[in-house]
Every structure is written in structure tokens, then in C-alpha cells.
A and B are shown apart, each in its own frame.
Chain A
Amino acid sequence: MSTNERIIEARELTKTFSGGVVALDRFTLAVRRGEVVVIIGPSGSGKSTFLRCLNGLEEIDSGSIVIDGIPLDRHRKNRLLIRREVGMVFQSFNLFPHMTARENIDLAQIRVRKKTRTGAAETTMNLLAKVGITEKADRYPHELSGGQQQRVAIARALAMSPKVMLFDEATSALDPEMIGEVLDVMRTLAAEGMTMVIVTHEMGFAREAGDRIVFMESGRIVEEGDAERFFAFPREERTRAFLGQIL
């Protein structure tokens, strides 16, 4: 599914939080167009920080990030450009509570992509159909279940027609019976060839949907590799210990 063209190039990223915690330690990762990269690792290993650096929600201390040819630097304009091309799904959904599902998805299309209301409405209904909740279009987030909220959030990110989708523990806040419906949507996206970087604890999903697994600890890559190989024959001792704990 993936090509050889690199759509994300992160080189030598370092990030230290004010408390002295090292979140990223010369972290380098490239993602090819259409590739699904799953990042796993113990909590505090810098997985989420890496995702948040990719669209500028978090500032890196040093290193370089280039996404689809655009460098993420101090220029506000580039940052906005990158954010338009990179969709993000959060653990806590972060839907806008004062807007209906439909309005949540409309907003960026109208404000950022400068679409007309009718143009946006069509895309919105298509996306709601895609995530399977057309009937909830006019409901407010608090009227939806966690799984439904997260699917609206995915639709909202997709409304920008992003080139890359980032998933930051998208199922961690969900009740177990709702995890499946969100993973299904993510599976569909992966099958359609969307470039995805996913931070998750769902190992079954990682193995089945991921092209490549990256195991992180203390801001560094411990081991990475093809999904099947990674789970079947982990090379590093640390990886085996981690997988042993959670599988």
C-alpha cells in the first residue's frame, strides 16, 4: 500500500519538559506515504509527545520535522499549512461541546478550506455515513456515547482531507464495548491507503492494521520492524519484556 516517498521526516528530535523529564531523545522516524505506523511503549516513553510535536502542538527543543515537503519551523504560516494537512484524533475526543456533530465537522471546512455551507454539508454527511452515525448528525456531543463522540472526532479530522492522520490513544478513554467501533473506522481508513501514525495499547489492532511497529522507551526507539515480524520475533530483550507484560 505504501510508496517509497517519505511524507513525514522527523530527524534527531529532542524535547525536555520543564521538570527535566526527557520526552524525546534524538528521536528519528520517517513515514512513507500510505504507511500505517503504530507506536507502542510504556507510559511516559514519549509516544504522545512525538505525535503532538508532529503538528506543532508541542514545541521541539531541537531537530527537524518536514511533512509533505513543508518544514515545521518557527514560521506561523508553515505551522498552519502543516496543521491543515495533518489530522489529529485525541484520547479525550475534544469535540466542541456547544456545536452539534454536524457543526463540529462543518467548522474547519468553512473556516479553513473556505467551503460554502452547502459544500461543507455534503462532505459532512458523507463522512458521518462513513463513520456510521448519520442519524446523530444533529446531536450535541454530550448526547452521544464515547464511541460515537470519537467517531465524530475522526470525521471532523477527515473533513480537512488530511494527508496524514495522527491517533493519540484514540480508544484509551472508551468503555471496552465501544473500542471495536472506533477501531473498525481506523481499519477502514488504513485499508483506503491513509497515512497514519497511531499511538495505542491495542496490540491486536497494531499487529493486524499496522505496517510497521515502533517500540519506544525514554524518548528513543528501542526496536522497530514489520508488524508480523515484530510480534512474532521481537529482537530486543526489553521488547520481549514489554510484550510479555501486556499480551
Chain B
Amino acid sequence: MNKLFHMPAGVRRTALTDSGKFFLLAGLVVWLLTLGTQGMGYHWQWYRVPRYLFTTAGGVWKAGPLLQGLGTTLEISLLSLLCTLIIGLTAALFRLSDSFTARALARSYLELIRNTPLLIQIFFVYFVVSPVLDIGAFASAVLALSLFEGAYAAEILRAGIVSLHRGQWEAAHSLGLGVFDTYRDVILPQAVRRVLPPLAGQGISLIKDSSLVSTIAIYDLTMQGQKIVAETFLAFEIWFTVAAIYLVITFSLSFAVRALENRMNGLPIRGAGGIA
């Protein structure tokens, strides 16, 4: 909160008053929520939720449908994340290429993907592309997601690359480094550090967007939640639980990237090339 509101100098803030305010605010939100649900007469049955997370029948721990769905979601997200980076980097380099064909190709890809809804792209890949390529629903999901997020990652990476001082290119060229070596050793290490925060944001979007693959019959976290709600009518309990699980994984990702950023910030990325 210190950061959020600018406080005049001399006002003393302590961790105690800060946490006090935080809990006051959180309490207020909970109170409003309770008030709202009471108003619509919803009967909360949280005790029925745990069995969908895991069961311990006969002392044997077994993942319930929600955790199984989480496994699928993580699998799709991780694979797509990897492909997103590869596609994004390729598209970014194509856009910056000297070749007209490469630039046109990258441009069409970016415009096409960024100006149509992801849901339609998933349907398109699943119903039109997958029979041609003879791939299943899972591969279709990964393909559609990585193509979509790759377009955004490409623009983020391109922004990072063009933000570097021209002198970095010139220094590399004057040493006789080729384009490949220049990108690998000089340009990309600096560019990626600069765009790590927005790139992480794209990764988080990817995890959330992966919930759309439930539409092509993949039993990810969202699909499992949907199924349970249909069977049990525990709409709020299950959806809140599902949302909380998404929150945990996206938050862990942010946390990991933050740690990475801090580690990299030990090294200089600003003040490139001596005089800025």
C-alpha cells in the first residue's frame, strides 16, 4: 500500500498498521460475499468438495477428478509454453528478417492469430487441421494454444530486441560475428532479460487460456469442474475451488519468474554500451 498511495514524507508506516489495514479490507470483502450469498439463499456445502480433490479410501491416497484435471492442465500448459517460446522467437526473428517473404509470413501469422478469438482457433485446429495431420485432441490443444500465445510472445520478444542500442549490433558485427552468433550471444540474452515481466504475464495468460481446451473434450481442470457441477450442483464450491487451483499455479509461476528476475538483476541490463 506504501507503493500504491504516495505518502508525504514523515508519515510513519509500520508493518503492523499495514497488515491491520490489509485484514480489515479482506474482512470487508468476505463480509460482502457472505451477505451476497445469503441474499440469494445459497446453501453452502463445502464439506462435499474434498472428495473431488482426493480420496484416501483404505489408507490409499488417490487423486480425485479435480487433481487429475490439474495434471492435464499442467501438462498442456508446460508443453504449450515450450512451443510458445519457440514459435514466438521464430516469428519475432522472421519479422525482423531482411527477407521480404519471412516478414510477410510473420506479419500474416501475427495479424491472423491476434485478430480472431482463441475459441474459434481451437475449434479450427481440432475439427479442420487435426484430421489432416492425424493428431488427437491433446496435440490439437497444444498446437492451438501455442500458435495463439506465440503470436503475443513474438511481439514481446521483438520489442525487447529492437529496444537494444544499435551499438550492440555494430560491436558484434565489427568483431566478425555472424547473425546467428550475434543473436545467441549478444542480442537475445539482453532482450529476454528486458522482457521477462511481460513474457511471464503471457505464460500466466496461457495457463488461464488453457481452460478453453475443455471445449474439445479434454479433461483438464475446467472440464472436470464442469462435469462435477453437472452431477452435484455444487456450482459455487467447485468453481471457487477450480479458480483457487488456477490461482495457485499462476501465482507460483509469477513467483518463480520474480525470483529469476531478481537473480538476473544482479547483472546489469541497463546502461548498455557505456553512454546511454
Contacts and interface: CB of A to CB of B under 8 A. Distances in A.
Interface of A: 55-57, 80, 83-84, 86-88, 90, 92-98, 107-108, 111-112, 140-142, 146, 149-150, 153, 156-157, 160, 173
A108 B176 CA distance: 7
B269 interface: yes
Contacts of B271: 97, 141-142
A84 B171 CA distance: 12
B167 A98 contact: no
- Between A87, A97, A153, the greatest number of chain B beta carbons within 10 A of the residue's beta carbon is seen for A97
B257 interface: no
B274 A92 contact: yes
Contacts of B269: 97-98
Contacts of B274: 92-95, 141, 146, 149-150, 173
What are the 7 A-B residue pairs with the smallest beta carbon separation, nearest first?
A93-B274, A94-B171, A94-B167, A84-B176, A88-B174, A108-B175, A83-B176
Contacts of B171: 88, 90, 94-96, 153, 156
B267 interface: yes
Given A140-B268, A141-B268, A94 B168 contact: yes
17 contacts: A57-B174, A83-B173, A83-B176, A87-B174, A90-B167, A94-B171, A94-B273, A94-B274, A97-B270, A97-B271, A98-B190, A140-B268, A141-B274, A146-B274, A149-B274, A156-B171, A173-B274
Interface in B157-186: 165, 167-168, 170-178, 181, 185-186
Interface in B256-276: 267-275
Given A84-B176, A92-B273, A142-B270, 12 more contacts: A90-B167, A92-B167, A93-B273, A95-B171, A95-B274, A97-B268, A98-B193, A107-B177, A108-B175, A141-B274, A156-B171, A173-B275
Interface residues of B, number: 27
A159 to B, nearest CB: 8
B131 interface: no
A83 B193 contact: no
B177 A108 contact: yes
Contacts of A149: 274
